[in-house]
Structure formats: structure tokens, C-alpha cells
Structure 1
Amino acid sequence: MRFTPHVTVATIVENDGLFLMVEEQANQRIVLNQPAGHLEADEGLIQAAIRETLEETGWEVEPFAVVGIYLYTAPSNGVTYQRVCFAAKPRRHHPERQLDDGIVGPCWMTREQLLGEAERWRSELVLRCIDDYLSGHRHPLSLIR
């Protein structure tokens, strides 16, 4: 069996204690996730985080730190994902922008609200990334080469 991890990015966008989340269709249900997605060919990780956030939420963001790098194997399909999670500042919202297929829409939630929706998390990384961010995990963007 060939091991081929999938490289993904996610973005923590926090504004006054609220986190930008995405409601999206996955496996026949609506789940919550950070703005996140797969790295595309000939794309840098930071550019992927900016693109995915815009495509899924309509928000332009400015990444300022790396929160962490995570390895996660989905129990539903056995696929392993390497997630690079960024922290970013919200810069401009485009509410008229058409969002990616499968995206219900963006929403702003506190950590406590998110805790109350644990059954809707796309994966356990949703809360782990936020908790790492809240714990002060911030690595310079220059970590990404």
C-alpha cells in the first residue's frame, strides 16, 4: 500500500473573541471547520491559506503566524492529512462573492459555542487548532520555506 498524505491548510481568523468558521457539506451532513482546503499544484502554503479562506468565506485575510503543523488520519476513510494551520487577521469581507461548492456559509463563533457543537466538527483538529492559537502558539511565517 502506498502512503500518500494530503497536504492541507487551515486558517484561524479571530476577531474580538469570535472565530471565523465555515459550515460545509461533508459525508451527507453539515459540519464546522476553519476555512481550509488542499494545497494546489504550484501554490505556496501561505497563498493556499489566503485563497481557501476567500473561496470559503468571502473574507480577505492577512496571515501573520503559523499556529502549528498537524498530522491527522481520518477514521472515516483512513486518509492521512498534513494540516498547516495559520493565524490571520480579517481585512475585507466580500458578502456578494459566490462561495465554493458544498459551502453553506461562514459564521463567527466563540470557543464555547464551538464546544457546544462538537458533534458537527469536521475533525478533532477544529478545536485543537483554536486551543493552540489561544495558548499562544505563534511561529513566524518565515518558518514556511
Structure 2
Amino acid sequence: MTTPAQHSVSVAGVIVDDVGRCLLTKRRDNGEWQAPGGVLELHETIAEGLVREMWEETGLEVEPLALTGVYKNMTLGVVALVFRCRNVGGTLALNDEVTDFRWAHRAELHEFVSETFVIRLTDALTEGNAPMIRAHDGKRLI
């Protein structure tokens, strides 16, 4: 008997500063700029996992403000929950997963971030909308 396919659930936080910029992290494993985040662990709530991932990847304490999107990578079977967040403490600190930080305005995102992540960031920077629900193949929206 074949085991049914399983999904992985990740959380990501788009930390927005007082002038509307979002924090990008440069991943050590692939050199790509993205919002910080990672895999939700079985024993933690969504909010706990988000706060933990933000702390581990940035050194910042965050407050989740709003769920801004649900995204499924159809190729990998990863469902990502993305939240707009506010920094409430801590200090940016490089770590085993992150080699650099950058604050970017919406207009700058295409310079640094791949299309599937630009969409997530743009959705998070757009206040007042219901959460977006999107699917992609790792490169393009489906």
C-alpha cells in the first residue's frame, strides 16, 4: 500500500517598519532574499511557531498583526502561512541560516526577491485586504 502524500506547513513573517519597508533575510543555503520563516513544528501553535522562527532567523521579537496569505507550492507540497508582523524587541543578529539583512520598500522588491516571494511580500504590505490564497510551482503562480 502506498503512503498518501503529505504536506509540510511553514510560517513566514513580513516585519514592517514605521516607514513601510519590510525586512528581507538572505538565506545561507541558497543565497536568496526572502521574508524570514520556516517549518511549523507539530507541538506548537501557529503563532508560537511564527514567533519562534522570527526570533531564530532575525533575533527580533515580533507581534503578528494579520494573516496576509496562504500559499501552496504545488511541486513541493508546502503550504505557507504568511503574516504581517511588528517588531516589539530584540536586535538583528546573523545566524546559521541567515547571512545578511535588508530593509526594502515595495518598489525595490523585484531587485532582490524571486517572483513567488515578491507576491507574498506585496500581499503582506497591502493592509486591509482579506488573506490571499494562491498556488505556485516554485517559480510562477498557477
Give the TM bin, normalised by the shorter chain: 0.7 to 0.9
Q: Deviations over 1:76-96 (max 9, x none)?
A: xx311101111111111324x
Question: Alignment partner of 2:55: what SS?
Answer: helix
Alignment partner of 1:129 out of 100, 111, 120: 120
Q: For each residue in 1:79-119, what CA deviation from the matched residue of structure 2 results, as whole angstroms up to 9, or x when unmatched? A: 11101111111111324x562x232133211122221124x
Change (3 A) 1:44 1:6: same
Q: CA, structure 1 residues 90+43, in 2 after alignment: closer, same or farther (shift >3 Å)?
A: same
Deviations 1:40-68 (A, max 9, x none): 12101111111111110111111121112
Written as runs of structure 1 = structure 2, the 5 A alignment for 1:3-14 is 3-14=5-16
After TM superposition, which residue ranges in structure 1, 4 or more long, deviate above 4 angstroms?
none
Distance 2:14 2:130 in 1: 11
Aligned to 2:37: 36
Does residue 1:113 correspond to 2:108, yes or no? yes
User: In the aligned structure 2, how far is the partner of 1:93 from the partner of 1:107?
Assistant: 16
Cα gap change, 1:110/1:98 in structure 2, threshold over 3 Å: closer, same or farther? Answer: closer
> Which amino acid letter does the alignment assign opposite residue 100 of structure 2?
G
Tell me if structure 2 keeps the 8 A contact 1:56–1:105. Answer: no
Alignment partners' CA distance in 2, 1:135 and 1:117: 19
TM normalised by structure 1 equals 0.77
For residues 101 and 59 of structure 2, the distance between their equivalents in structure 1, rounded to whole angstroms, comes to 8
Match of 1:24 in 2: 27
Contact 1:39 1:45 in 2 (8 A): yes
Counterpart in the other structure of 1:87: 84
Q: Distance in 2 between matches of 1:34 and 1:98?
A: 14
User: Is the 1:22–1:107 contact (alpha carbons within 8 Å) kept by the matching residues of 2?
Assistant: yes
Partner of 1:56: 57
RMSD, aligned CA = 2.0
Percent identical among aligned pairs is 24
Residue 133 of structure 1 deviates from its aligned partner by: 2.3
CA distance in 1, matches of 2:109, 2:125: 14
Unaligned runs of 5+ in 2: 132-142
Query: Unpaired segments of 5 or more residues in structure 1?
Result: 140-145
